[in-house]
Amino acid sequence: MKIEERLKQLGITLPAVGGPMGTYVHAVQTGNLVYLAGKGPFDPKGGPMPSGKVGGDVTIEKGYQDARTVGLTLIAVLKDHLGDLDRVQRVVKVLGMVNATPEFGDHPKVINGCSDLFVEVFGDKGRHARSAVGMGSLPMNITVEIEAIVEVK
């Protein structure tokens, strides 16, 4: 099944890709690897960008949903860069950063929001190596930031 068909089947609409928020590009390809810049969450209902500390004023469940929206943005950037998501050979590596309180320890449960989405969309090609780490702060106090490396054909 084509990835575009899979997205429709799952009821997923990818967000629009805006310009970078700094001096960088969304994606860099070298050979058959695409490096996706770190992205933050968005509110699917159009509200302000989710912010706060997981383990404090943000629950694991909310962090999971925020990580899922980051995954949607990463897929949208990939589509914008490649033109065709069927060129994805494999999601190779994900680095998930969680804006967390010092005592918080469930970072993997939060970043699963993105990882689960990649597997839903790409199947076994979406399974990846991963790091899920806590940060003392993230830009604009966002809840999560995630970057990825993807192999393409």
The number of folded domains in the chain is 1
Residue range of the domain that includes 131 = 3-12+27-152
In a domain, 113, yes or no: yes
Chain segment 81-90, per-residue pLDDT in tens: 999 999 999 9
In a domain, 99, yes or no: yes
In a domain, 126, yes or no: yes
In a domain, 20, yes or no: no
Structure tokens belonging to residue 18: 């805006």
Helices (H), the chain: 3-10, 60-82, 107-122
Count CA atoms closer than 13 A to 150's CA, side-chain side: 29
Length in residues, the chain: 153
In a domain, 35, yes or no: yes
Position 1 scores a pLDDT of 83
In a domain, 57, yes or no: yes
In a domain, 33, yes or no: yes
In a domain, 22, yes or no: no
Count CA atoms closer than 13 A to 92's CA, side-chain side: 11
Position 62 scores a pLDDT of 98
Chain segment 10-29, per-residue pLDDT in tens: 999 999 999 998 999 999 99
Q: Tell me the CATH number at 75.
A: 3.30.1330.40
Contact 144, 67 (CB under 8 A): yes
- For the cut 90, the answer to whether the pLDDT of residue 45 exceeds it is no
Chain segment 55-93, per-residue pLDDT in tens: 999 999 999 999 999 999 999 999 999 999 999 999 999
